[in-house]
Amino acid sequence: MNYTLNHKKYFTNFLLDGRIPLSNNLSEIAVKPVAITRKNSLFSDSVAGAKASAIIFSIVGTASANNLDPYKYLEYIFRRLPNLEFTLDHTILDEYLPWSEKVQLECRMKNAKTEVKEKDDLRDETA
């Protein structure tokens, strides 16, 4: 009870601003994949295997955060990057980052809202 009474000011902040959520569920959901991956890494056969898993997890997480279909994005970069000569010019890789316009067009997750917008855009272009 003392802890609650001593921190009452912080526990009632959500009453001052309607934008503050009542719970931290969204934060918990956001960090859950990180915690699961960290736990699963304990069972990797080698440090290199754990590192490779972490890299793939990072790529998939970044793709999802940028509203990309992770499978499409991995397929996209695995098909194109091996054929590039990017060792001399690292800026070529910028075109393959999840937030680049070309990648967004190729790998974006489809949902009802984006499909309707794309159809409207097509109609506008043909009109």
Q: What is the pLDDT of residues 57-107, one digit of tens each?
A: 889 989 999 999 999 999 999 999 898 888 888 888 999 999 999 999 999
Please state the pTM of the whole predicted model: 0.62
Q: Return all residues near 98 (Cβ < 8 A) that are at least 6 apart.
A: 62, 63, 65, 66, 68, 73, 104, 107
7 vs 15: CA distance, rounded Å: 14
The pLDDT of residue 120 is: 63
SS3 98: coil
68 versus 19: which is more confidently predicted? 68
The pLDDT of residue 106 is: 93
What's the mean per-residue pLDDT of the chain?
Answer: 85
Q: What is the DSSP letter of 69?
A: -
Per the structure, the complete domain to which residue 92 belongs is given by 2-126
The pLDDT of residue 127 is: 60
The pLDDT of residue 121 is: 63
SS3 110: coil
108 versus 126: which is more confidently predicted? 108
**Phi/psi of residue 68, nearest 5 degrees:** -105, 150
Instruction: Work out how many domains the chain is built from and give that number.
Output: 1
